[in-house]
Structure 1
Amino acid sequence: MTCTTTVCLLYNCIQNAVCGRWMLLSTVHSVLYIVLQANIHFPLIQSVAILLVNRMCFDYISRLFSGLIYFGHIRHLSEMATTTGVHTKARSSPYPGSTVNRTTVPDDKVDWSAEWKDYSPVEYTAPSVKAGPVWADVDITSENDSKKFKFNLIDGKVNRKSHCSKYTTPGGIPRNPNGRTGMNGRGLLGKWGPNHAADPIVTRWKRDKKGKQILDPTSGKPVLQFVSIMRKDSGVWAIPGGMVDAGERVSVTLKREFGEEALNSIDIPDKERKSTEKEIAALFKHGYEVYRGYVDDPRNTDNAWMETIAVNFHDEKGKSVGKFNLTAGDDAQDAHWADISSDLSLYASHEEFIHITAVHRKAHWDAKS
């Protein structure tokens, strides 16, 4: 087997790990840790990275080797994989916006490979979804119904492909690739299978009145701030973001959701809106993709789940979007610039995305990093 072939196989393994197979990712971390502890030099790793870059997968390498690049020690890689082992929020009860409790799923029964003959998930699709709004799929009551959908493909204007890998469809119904959740149906989600979202992480440096960057006294690193909104549906702080509309480009979703939720662009006067949109467009020309894949979201079920693309847009000097007064709008009830640290408690997998952003910007996270 050639070196190139080996590297390609390694890439595929890493891709699967990043997209939900977190136990495998932890194993990769452990192997790399052993390599470092044995004082093995890095030429081979560098060669592998070069070949992987040629495979157009720099993002995966940057995530996997972020500990090496920014900290020089592999222990931070395992800390980065905050969605370790199994999803947890996707098994929480009661289900959002309802009094319905899921079937309890123990950690060791989450993976579909774990035998569980008596598994009997609760069936639930929210009335608002069953009502048949334009953004929701029709119910699947038989395998014939499922033939209406092109799962794992672009289905007209609807993207039914996962960011991770192909998902299975036993009985013609998509199965959550991250395992059991204790609930069948779609819950609050409109689409069978992956429901795609986009999350813009807009950041600036925290500064004093003189404009000087503020350093955290424990880590000595500059404090990064991000635009945080409080969701109306749950009252939980989160990254502004939303669903990718059918046929919509992710780049459009990112700008639209940030403007609507953090700047209330829907209700501001036309002249001010145009100026705001111009500033957003300029900042959003260049972004760093923080994450692409499955989200541990409390709305997930066995048959419908959230996936997202999270992108960081950084206002280095704080003179564009960083100077705006934030005003909550649309699905948000509040908005503010929040300091980034390990003390954050955010919606779904958003803490993980913010952590990766802090690492990328070499900003404060906690006293150890």
Structure 2
Amino acid sequence: MTASFGGRASSVRFERVTKAFGDFRAVDAVSFEVAPGTLATLLGPSGCGKTTTLRMIAGLELSTSGRIWIGEQDVTGLPATRRDVSMVFQSYALFPHMTVIENVAYGFLVSGTPKAEAQARAELGLELVGLKGYGARLPSELSGGQQQRVAVARALVLEPQVLLFDEPLSNLDAKLRRRVREEIRDIQRNLGLTVVYVTHDQEEALAVSDKVIVMRNAQIAQEGAPRELYEQPADRFVADFIGDANLVEATILATDGGLATVSIGGVEVRVPGRGLPPGPVLAAIRPEAVLLVDGGDGLPGTIGKAAYLGRHLEYTIASPVGELFVIDRRVDSPRAVGSGVTLRFGDRIALVPGEG
């Protein structure tokens, strides 16, 4: 059975899909494609349409218009029971009175699979998620991360063409979220699964995804690889939503090949020009792109807030171009609130076209 896991991974394709509830459009003419064997994340703030999009893939919501394809099959009008997908819910949705092995085997048993076969397949599923030997326990005897892995195993053993995750880590603490997201990514890669994953957590999306689809107001704002979205945001919204960018007004003074000379408050930097012409522009300055020095050339600033976070210091700094959020890795040299500082800029600055 191990060899067959992930063997039927299929693409997912939306063609101008809309979902309306009365006059309200939860999803508006959305088109995208997820390649077989890849993990794509639907990312965006609450109410942007990402969960409705996921539910339409699952067949839990039917589209108002447009076409939905899983592999070569048009599933637009098919109910959830006739789509070869499995979904892992935010709440895990485990049966508390059943053992772990019974939870994982449940889908087989209700479909009439012989008990011995269902048991064997469930045991393999638990082994895949690192829970071999836990089958006799009740969900209440497991940690939150272990319960999440049981939910993943229950979905995996059905060998779906597409595996769906709806905010799977939101009930876990920060340290456990990191570990479980790594486990989900490892399973997806090792088994070659097609996964569509919903989250509002930007760091989580960047960490697990082959493709990130950023949604805003029921539409797609931008899609691409994590690095592409971080370093080449399409507009102000994406730049601000992905990675705590400081958005400041700047001016492109000149371009030379693929680089641009940009003035930020009178300080000149050379950054990728993105094909933009000379003139006013927005600069998305990442918190780690600002170097704090004492005196010399640069932008003057004053430390407004300071926080120690173990691995780094976080500062809020008043400057001529506005308030800047800065991350400093030099934890042994903290700066006092109210002290002056000079700001210099590295090359992790993305020019954002227009004011959009």
Larger radius of gyration: 2
**Greater relative contact order (CA < 8 Å, ≥ 6 in sequence):** 1
Q: TM-score, normalising length from structure 1? A: 0.23
More strand by share: 2
